[in-house]
Structure 1
Amino acid sequence: MSDATVFRTGPLRFATAERFAPPRPVPGGGAAVPDGAICPQPPSRLDAVMGPPHDRRPQGEDCLHLTVTSPAAPVSETWNVGAAGNAREAGRPVLLWFHGGGFSSGAGILDWYDGGSLAAEQDVVVVSAGYRLGALGYLVLDGVSEGNLGLRDQLAALRWTRDNIARYGGDPGNITLVGQSAGAVSILLLMRMPEARGLFRRAVLQSAPLSLATRPRAEARETGRVFAAHLGGDPRTAPPADLLAVQARTAAEQQRRTGSFLVPPFGPVEGTDLLPGAGTPLTFDDGAPDVLYGWNADDMSAFPEGPRDTGGTAERTRRTYEAPLSALRAELERAGARVHGYRLDWRPPGSPYGATHCVEIPLLLGAADAWRDAPMLGRLDWAEVDAVGRGVREAWASFARTGDPGPLPAPLTALAR
């Protein structure tokens, strides 16, 4: 792919936020931040699988940044008629990416999530956005934070995309949310949020671990009290390094208490003014989105067994991904959504992890420099990875255009209803 075929713009600041406060939109569509920071965070627990990111970014709380990647060629159509009957300039389908990382690590502006190949090959616009993580994004503590600030950041990124993407050649009426792991869980929660209704048309859920989706407010408040007791000071003024140290201690205690190495200490909280309770039926009064969902055949090979999460990779993957996601499909279809399912069976030669968690990301996003020496890619050179990725990118782009990914190419397997 030639550098001249796409423009990658950003990082752009899409919102600002004081610590533990909701995000505020940036007037004028956002300003460029050449040395864009990422949310303060520990090293990823998946560094052994993915390798650490090669583009080292500064960490800071001014981190609500995104990138936009769009084809350099002009949009082929000039005008069409919008749903309201008014003429509007046509644009390309838009894919808005939310990264994974267990609500604890990652950033949308990392080179892993560069949409250059996807935009150039498939004539789409790719937006990749960050959000607040860990205690900064999800602490629940009376008088300090209501929680779910990371979700509010994602909602702000979605609104920014709707309001500004036309200037980058995108169609604000055809936005597909795409997310992996915690990013996929976030999209499911956006589907449940009244404030997000009507802001997107389609959703792609890649390896969403639904056990991470939400926690009861009472549980989150207790975790917040434990966190504050260990901190011994005011979370509103403590240095970020102190917050991260106490976050790690809180996570270790949670692992000992629950026996799970998968569930992070901080994440979305149910039963708030933003997010209905987990038992609330999924409904789409204004029209159900199209949904593409799936998992990787060996997703759980990336995570160590815990005392309460035993069994081989296949059984743990079935329990954590296949069974809950199959139940979600039935719920979505009852609510009127058109749903397509996939399983990725790609096992790169030389990788000890097989079709592991995150292995589909380089098939969709990023380029050779971003993914060099990734252990999960084994002995494959980038040309081989890219060749497999072309089919995946085509399927995801087809879904973004029409709501149907078309016949899925190997190593994707379509899931029957």
Structure 2
Amino acid sequence: MTMIDDLVVQTKSGTLRGARENGLTVFRGVPYAAAPVGELRFAPPQPVAPWRDVRDATRDGPVPPQGRSRLAHVMGDFERPQSEDCLTLNIWTRATDGKKRPVMVWIHGGAFSSGAGSLPWYSGERFALNGDVVVVSINYRLGALGFLCLPGVSPGNLGLLDQVAALKFVRDNIAAFGGNPDNVTVVGQSAGGASISILMTMPLAAGLFRRAILQSAPFGRPARTLEDSHRIGRRFLEVLGLKPEQADALKSLPFAKLVAAQGEVGRLEKKFADTQAPFWPVIDGDVYPGEVGPALAAGAGRDIDVMVGTTREEMAAFYGIDPDIPKADAAAIEGVFAAMFKTGHRAVYDETRRMRASSGNAALLGDLMTDVNFRMGSLRFAEARADQGRPAYVFQFDWQSPEGFEACHCIEIPFVFNNFEHWTDAPMVKGADPKVASGLAEAMHRAWIAFARTGKPDHPGLPVWPAYRREDRMTMRFDTMIGPVSDLAGLNWRTPWTR
């Protein structure tokens, strides 16, 4: 096979021509479903129409329609062409041969309302070069276009169905790109981690992946009910100046108007210390059968190898810029604790104050809601796995941002991908000691590769990483010092969560 031939791959829908990039063969803007435009807006993903000529796959496709990310102040900002014709994925591989390399599929975060798998932040180049794995990053529909649930207009959960369609593309085609369809690891952060937890319980996704890495999965942000999703859908209509009987107009309005309206709905729905976006997966009893936590505890996805973890101060990314947080009085802060625990909240409130050298409003609420939204659900998931006799490898990212963002939501991503050259505009890692950052990134990056290969994250550059067990709760702590620590959450601090 010549070098030129290496760039041409036959998929089930047609032939693609990729490009050579830094020793890898890369395919960009690969369609995995038909463009959801026109009559297909608010419809489940449909198969791609086959094409006859060789299709150029050397450029990224447009990103899904979206507003500015809520986390641009920590991650940095981006501008990319937007289009509803966005159901594409990118692939990085050492060679388009029959080697059957492990496959890693990245599902990006962004509260189901922003982001794209094609952003340089999520380049699969280093994973493919350093681990000889095939990397796939996917786009899926966001915001109202992906998660509006309104009778007669949209069934909801379309973004989840897009993810399933992308995973089916991987199953059916990845062998042609040098990958093994029987060794697929899904990796996701934030909404991507939430997506993976849902996919593990979805009948439609059964058998599509073998391993899962969940980073900062918001287990504590419950799925919306049909009733609540319909209420938000009606509010969306009101913001657009439409009456219920005019709902069908949503299928033809310019997407820019929908994006602007969903931003306004987000502002109208905002509550104190609550960061959940309005358009969110909904339990419909069909695509999304039921609450994730109980389903996983009952054994859903038990044959899938699992790695799960959080950052130490997830909520610092949100509360640090919320103007309502610093001006709130003590009663408002304590009221959030009371709402969480109903009875016995005062002991948790006092303990949280004692744990912090500086316990301002943002720190107090941040520690509480980091546990509520992220950490405790992740640990419950790990404990359920241990009870099932299935290992879960748990981590916590503790490295502190020099710019005052602490170990905030999203801060571990550059370390996992080990590609700081794509994060030069990210305030959260500005000022990092290059030697420390490089060493920490190497340890994490190689652990993610090892897990994708074997189901265990151990590698020669990392201390032994024990599986999580109820009796010792060993958690790999990633900081300037790296190593497993017993029960980072604290046994006393855990007590209220058992009720």
The normalised TM-score by structure 1 is 0.88
The answer as to whether partners of 1:70 and 1:124 remain within 8 angstroms in 2 is yes
How far did residue 389 of structure 1 move? Answer: 1.3
Larger relative contact order, structure 1 or 2 (CA cutoff 8 Å, min sep 6): 1
The answer as to whether partners of 1:352 and 1:378 remain within 8 angstroms in 2 is no
The answer as to whether partners of 2:103 and 2:134 remain within 8 angstroms in 1 is yes
1:340 aligns with 2:393: yes
Match of 2:381? 328
RMSD, aligned α-carbons: 2.5
After the TM superposition, which of the residue ranges 301-310 and 291-300 deviates more from structure 2?
301-310
Match of 1:357? 409
Q: Determine helix, strand or coil for the equivalent of 1:354.
A: coil
**After superposition, what is the alpha-carbon deviation per residue over 1:120-168, rounded to whole angstroms, capped at 9, x for unaligned?**
1111111100110010000011100000000000001111111111111
1:237 aligns with 2:289: no
Question: Larger C-alpha radius of gyration, 1 or 2?
Answer: 2
Match of 2:366 among 298, 308, 313: 313
1:377 aligns with 2:455: no
How far did residue 10 of structure 1 move? Answer: 0.5
- Separation in structure 2 between the aligned mates of residue 213 and residue 187 of structure 1, nearest angstrom: 14
How far did residue 285 of structure 1 move? Answer: 7.3
The aligned amino acid for 1:4 is N
- Separation in structure 2 between the aligned mates of residue 32 and residue 294 of structure 1, nearest angstrom: 38
How far did residue 259 of structure 1 move? Answer: 2.5
**CA pair 129-366 structure 1, distance change in 2 beyond 3 A:** farther
The answer as to whether partners of 1:112 and 1:366 remain within 8 angstroms in 2 is no
Task: Could you tell me which runs of 5 or more consecutive residues in structure 1 were left unpaired when the two chains were aligned.
Answer: 76-88
1:180 aligns with 2:195: no
- Separation in structure 1 between the aligned mates of residue 30 and residue 382 of structure 2, nearest angstrom: 35
The aligned amino acid for 2:174 is I
How far did residue 322 of structure 1 move? Answer: 1.9
The normalised TM-score by structure 2 is 0.74
- Separation in structure 2 between the aligned mates of residue 369 and residue 285 of structure 1, nearest angstrom: 39
The answer as to whether partners of 1:109 and 1:130 remain within 8 angstroms in 2 is yes
Match of 2:89 among 63, 66, 77: 66
- Separation in structure 1 between the aligned mates of residue 55 and residue 276 of structure 2, nearest angstrom: 35
Match of 1:6? 24
The answer as to whether partners of 1:294 and 1:341 remain within 8 angstroms in 2 is yes
The aligned amino acid for 2:230 is R
After the TM superposition, which of the residue ranges 19-28 and 165-174 deviates more from structure 2?
19-28
- Separation in structure 2 between the aligned mates of residue 114 and residue 154 of structure 1, nearest angstrom: 18
**After superposition, what is the alpha-carbon deviation per residue over 1:272-299, rounded to whole angstroms, capped at 9, x for unaligned?**
3111121753355786201100001121
How far did residue 415 of structure 1 move? Answer: 6.1
The answer as to whether partners of 2:211 and 2:304 remain within 8 angstroms in 1 is yes
- Separation in structure 1 between the aligned mates of residue 301 and residue 229 of structure 2, nearest angstrom: 32
The answer as to whether partners of 2:60 and 2:90 remain within 8 angstroms in 1 is no
1:19 aligns with 2:41: yes
**After superposition, what is the alpha-carbon deviation per residue over 1:204-232, rounded to whole angstroms, capped at 9, x for unaligned?**
00011113351111111111111112212
How far did residue 26 of structure 1 move? Answer: 2.1
- Separation in structure 1 between the aligned mates of residue 258 and residue 275 of structure 2, nearest angstrom: 21
The answer as to whether partners of 2:28 and 2:60 remain within 8 angstroms in 1 is no
The answer as to whether partners of 1:368 and 1:382 remain within 8 angstroms in 2 is no
